[in-house]
Homo-oligomer: A and B are copies of this chain.
Amino acid sequence: MSNQDPLVVFTPSGKRGRFPVGTPVLTAARQLGVDLDSVCGGRGICSKCQITPGYGEFSKHGVTARDGALSDWNALEARYDEKRGLKQGRRLGCQAKVQGDIVIDVPPESQVHRQVVRKAASARVIEMDPATRLYYIVVDEPDMHTPTGDLERVARALKDQWEIDKITCEFPVLTQLQTTLRKGKWAITVALHKTSATATPSIIAAWPGLHEKGLYGLAIDLGSTTVAAHLTNLDTGEVVASSGIMNPQIRFGEDLMSRVSYAMMNPGGDHEMTRAVRDAINTLAEEIAKEAGIETNLILETVFVCNPVMHHLLLGIDPVELGQAPFALATSDHLNLTARDLDLTTLPASAQIYLLPCIAGHVGADAAAVALSEQPGKSDDLVLIVDVGTNAEILLGNTSRVLACSSPTGPAFEGAQISSGQRAAPGAIEAIRIDPVTREPRFRVIGCDKWSDEDGFWDETAASGITGICGSGIIEAVAELRIAGLLDPSGLIGSAAQTGTDRCFAEGRTNAYLIHDATAEGGPRITVTQGDIRAIQLAKSALYAGARLLMDEMGVDVVDRVVLAGAFGAHISAKHAMVLGMIPDVPLDKVSSAGNAAGTGARIALCNLAARAEIERTVRQITKVETAIEPRFQEHFVAANAIPHATDPFPELGKVVTLPVVGFNTQGDGSDGGRVRRRKRG
């Protein structure tokens, strides 16, 4: 290129260079390293390389682009426009040739590495850098005089047409390659997968001609209770369908340890659980593809995040070692497998599976995914990230250091083992307020935006009824009982006499609080029992003790901010969580929700190969703290039993909520309880 050659400036990258007249825009972009997509390799058929030329004077770039700075619209562009429609002002980068100085804008959808904005609350974007990409190639026909195999000629085409030096081919694809080549009349599209930026790419799928149906991936958050999947277009990053099902392993045990016990007590029990979860994933994949209207054979990648027990059971590894100290994982590294390895028969046999690394025997790939999504190691302030589920994963860190642990909260936070508990579904109470004066409750149920004391609530909920309390509802209920003075710091519900309301009623030797009696409508009596309070206390104590243990290890008494992760975290009210003493005291506006951060981490790993390398590196730098063997955990646990806490001050909470000082213990001190006085805590 000489100084007389036309100047081409690409936006938004700003990359620029001079190219001889007649150079296709795609060629210029490639030479400059501009991120301009192409599947067909410049043959004018895939339309991935669309660009928008800019004409006129661009003083910012020092360029004046005149009419005729690009070659005229050609036959291929006309044909594409006729068949599919080309947006106004767009050209095909491989057909439009440079004739004079020009500014070329690469729209986001023509960039391979475009950014995808997450729908979730947090503003983090996912940059597309997929492990699997499509390449259209024209393959030499076989020739008896130079008798190479079809695969070897495919490899040569990739080298000649895409400068891809060396490839391998998944065996199931190889067995069908000849048919595909002949169907495509020697033009095919191959999907090349790389397990890392430097790995040899492998052909994991091939289609006759130009493949235009897209490529998809599943990001699966394999939880003890639910299996959630996001079907993602690997080209655009768009989530085209989301679906969740119950983990069928529940029939073998509600929580992780009961499943490990099942495997220990029943020979072959681990295999049963493995089969159950794989069957479920097969079903889930089929359903989600159907929902999105795609064929399952387009799902070429799946990323799993899960806790260590789910991880081992998915892989077909007996989880027995995870049930006892020292909680040894079979492997802690990330894994690259195929659908065939895991009997995921709904997916193509050569579909690629990626499992994020585990952090430790109790801190799994789900915690790694949270770390990938929330990046505590890149936070300037000290952030505590809590992923609330049947087990809580807790991360604490900043740019200097990241710590992690897992804490056995049990399923109470998910509404399980709660007398009126139920899953989050229409009819479930998800929010509740108790008037501190009248001690009367008002509430909101899933499926209706109104509060129960608003006009129209009862009409709108007539269909679903009021059926129970979900996880966020029970947390609010316990916290509101405490705020209203119906529950003392030790977790005792007062009697009707002690509290002055009939909503508190005796149930055996303890008291309960009636939220709503739906028996007239054929529904249940929805109450909060003393047993429910105990279950929540155990769960929140475990969570808080885990967080405290990490804070001890870090040598701090306060954290700067708290991130609540987990599908459930999205629905927890920060104030109520803190009244309960689930999380350490921070200003309320420093508590945020990250939504399903583990699921987001899975999506990031699905869409971005570099992110996989990053988390593989990061987990090695995370310090693991083992709650099960740490004596201080027990101390923290006991101290955290009180609501909000026996000893830790909650000064920030005290600024917004005044908790009544009450005590309903009639055994020890003979106090008859009742509200004594309100005071600011801290």
12 A-B contacts (beta carbon < 8 Å): A141-B326, A142-B327, A147-B360, A147-B361, A149-B330, A149-B332, A152-B331, A169-B331, A174-B317, A175-B316, A175-B330, A178-B318
Please indicate the chain B residues that have their CB under 8 angstroms from the CB of A337 in the complex: 171
Taking a contact as CB atoms under 8 Å apart, the answer to whether B332 and A152 are in contact is yes
Q: Are A147 and B321 CB-contacts (below 8 A) given A175-B316, A316-B175, A337-B171?
A: no
In the bound complex, CA of A149 to CA of B335 (Å):
12
The minimal Cβ–Cβ distance linking A633 to chain B, given in whole angstroms, is 13
Query: Which of the listed residues A169, A175, A337, A358 has the most CB atoms from chain B within 10 Å of its own CB?
Result: A175
Interface assignment of A258: CB less than 8 Å from any CB of chain B? no
Q: Are A150 and B626 CB-contacts (below 8 A) given A171-B337, A175-B317?
A: no
The minimal Cβ–Cβ distance linking A200 to chain B, given in whole angstroms, is 11
Taking a contact as CB atoms under 8 Å apart, the answer to whether A328 and B150 are in contact is yes
In the bound complex, CA of A315 to CA of B144 (Å):
22
Extra contacts, 14 of them, besides A144-B361, A152-B332, A171-B341 (Cβ < 8 A), are A141-B326, A142-B321, A143-B326, A144-B360, A147-B326, A147-B359, A148-B332, A149-B333, A152-B331, A169-B331, A175-B315, A175-B317, A175-B330, A178-B330
Within A135-151, the residues touching B (CB, 8 Å) are 141-145, 147-151
Q: Mark A149-161, 1 if CB is under 8 A from B, else 0.
A: 1111000000000
Within A303-354, the residues touching B (CB, 8 Å) are 315-318, 321, 325-333, 337, 341
Which listed residue, B145, B175, B331, touches A150 by the CB 8 Å rule?
B331
Query: Which of the listed residues A150, A151, A330 has the most CB atoms from chain B within 10 Å of its own CB?
Result: A330
Taking a contact as CB atoms under 8 Å apart, the answer to whether A147 and B626 are in contact is yes
In the bound complex, CA of A328 to CA of B149 (Å):
6
Taking a contact as CB atoms under 8 Å apart, the answer to whether B325 and A144 are in contact is yes
Taking a contact as CB atoms under 8 Å apart, the answer to whether A326 and B144 are in contact is yes
Taking a contact as CB atoms under 8 Å apart, the answer to whether B142 and A328 are in contact is yes
In the bound complex, CA of A169 to CA of B317 (Å):
14
Taking a contact as CB atoms under 8 Å apart, the answer to whether B142 and A326 are in contact is yes
Taking a contact as CB atoms under 8 Å apart, the answer to whether A329 and B149 are in contact is yes
Please indicate the chain B residues that have their CB under 8 angstroms from the CB of A626 in the complex: 144-145, 147
Residues on A close to B: CB < 8 A? 141-145, 147-152, 169, 171, 174-175, 177-179, 315-318, 321, 325-333, 337, 341, 358-361, 624, 626, 628-629
Taking a contact as CB atoms under 8 Å apart, the answer to whether B327 and A147 are in contact is yes
Please indicate the chain B residues that have their CB under 8 angstroms from the CB of A315 in the complex: 171, 174-175
In the bound complex, CA of A359 to CA of B358 (Å):
46
In the bound complex, CA of A294 to CA of B329 (Å):
33
Taking a contact as CB atoms under 8 Å apart, the answer to whether A321 and B149 are in contact is no
The minimal Cβ–Cβ distance linking A270 to chain B, given in whole angstroms, is 10
The minimal Cβ–Cβ distance linking A424 to chain B, given in whole angstroms, is 33
Please indicate the chain B residues that have their CB under 8 angstroms from the CB of A142 in the complex: 321, 326-328, 361
Please indicate the chain B residues that have their CB under 8 angstroms from the CB of A174 in the complex: 315, 317, 330-331
Query: Which of the listed residues A143, A150, A177, A315 has the most CB atoms from chain B within 10 Å of its own CB?
Result: A150
Taking a contact as CB atoms under 8 Å apart, the answer to whether B330 and A144 are in contact is no
In the bound complex, CA of A327 to CA of B628 (Å):
65
The minimal Cβ–Cβ distance linking A2 to chain B, given in whole angstroms, is 42
Taking a contact as CB atoms under 8 Å apart, the answer to whether B147 and A332 are in contact is yes
In the bound complex, CA of A188 to CA of B327 (Å):
20
In the bound complex, CA of A415 to CA of B418 (Å):
82
In the bound complex, CA of A150 to CA of B329 (Å):
6
Please indicate the chain B residues that have their CB under 8 angstroms from the CB of A321 in the complex: 142, 178
Query: Which of the listed residues A177, A318, A328, A624 has the most CB atoms from chain B within 10 Å of its own CB?
Result: A328
Please indicate the chain B residues that have their CB under 8 angstroms from the CB of A178 in the complex: 317-318, 321, 328, 330
